[in-house]
Structure 1
């Protein structure tokens, strides 16, 4: 059995759609193109597109409206949970250059002390940054800002 798409293709699709949401290509409240249209645009299988859309939904950037489709959240920029707040804060620090490519991020323990949350909450925030393609995890070492993060 051969793979039809490169490993991690969904992360590139997620990044492209995230960029379109943040730059206003897909305005707040507007619906994204259909799964079929996205499959055709990116030349991938439906499961790949669904995985990318699921990631955006997990990040609370889009919501599913039954009978309508997937739409950009009205309050997408507002973090709702403590882990989303931590992730948004770290994302801001990465985007503004406080954390440079290759820099280590604070550990789960450091984040849990700094924000007064459980390690599980801190871990969820760090995993959201990994899913967003901003951070890479080196097992046993920690999490680092990716070298290829756009500025």
Structure 2
């Protein structure tokens, strides 16, 4: 019997944390619980927590201050800075293409290997950028086929 969490666990965790960020459980500017604390609270692996937090960061609901932690974003905090990492840059570029209509609902996104060659990054970096878009409900993954712009993406 496998001890792995069911597929999509990070999406449920992302939703739970998103709700807390929006309802004020985590006030704007306040520090979010550590990865270890979230792992214990939700009984999930650290990688699951990291995927959820990456998605929330990509949505602009929280920000990372290197060496200090993750903080809830809100009207009283500083604006989210422009993308700092390659993953953030790839995510922002693809998000912009989706929002402007360059990538329309149903269109296939570039594969991990295509993105890694285009941006000169590792496949892991490309994969995490695509996962952030997936967690933001802009993209859906069809195993064995690729990732596609969701049909119901609001414009």
The verdict on how the C-alpha distance between 1:17 and 1:92 changes in structure 2, with shifts beyond 3 A counting, is farther
Give how far 1:63 is off.
Answer: 3.9
Say yes or no: does 1:108 pair with 2:112: yes
The verdict on how the C-alpha distance between 1:117 and 1:75 changes in structure 2, with shifts beyond 3 A counting, is farther
Superposition RMSD on alpha carbons, in Å?
Answer: 3.7
- What's the TM-score, normalizing by structure 2? 0.59
Deviations 1:93-148 (A, max 9, x none): 00000000010000111111111111111111101101111000000100000011
Contact 2:14 2:56 in 1 (8 A): no
Count of matched residue pairs: 120
Name the counterpart of 1:150: 154
Name the counterpart of 1:92: 96
Consecutive unaligned residues of structure 1, counting only runs of 5 or more, are 1-6, 21-25, 33-45
Contact 2:107 2:148 in 1 (8 A): yes
- What's the TM-score, normalizing by structure 1? 0.60
Deviations 1:10-33 (A, max 9, x none): 666777899x8xxxxx9xxx448x
Deviations 1:37-67 (A, max 9, x none): xxxxxxxxx96xxx8x8442476641489xx
The CA distance in 1 between the partners of 2:151 and 2:14, in whole Å, is 16
Give how far 1:74 is off.
Answer: 2.6
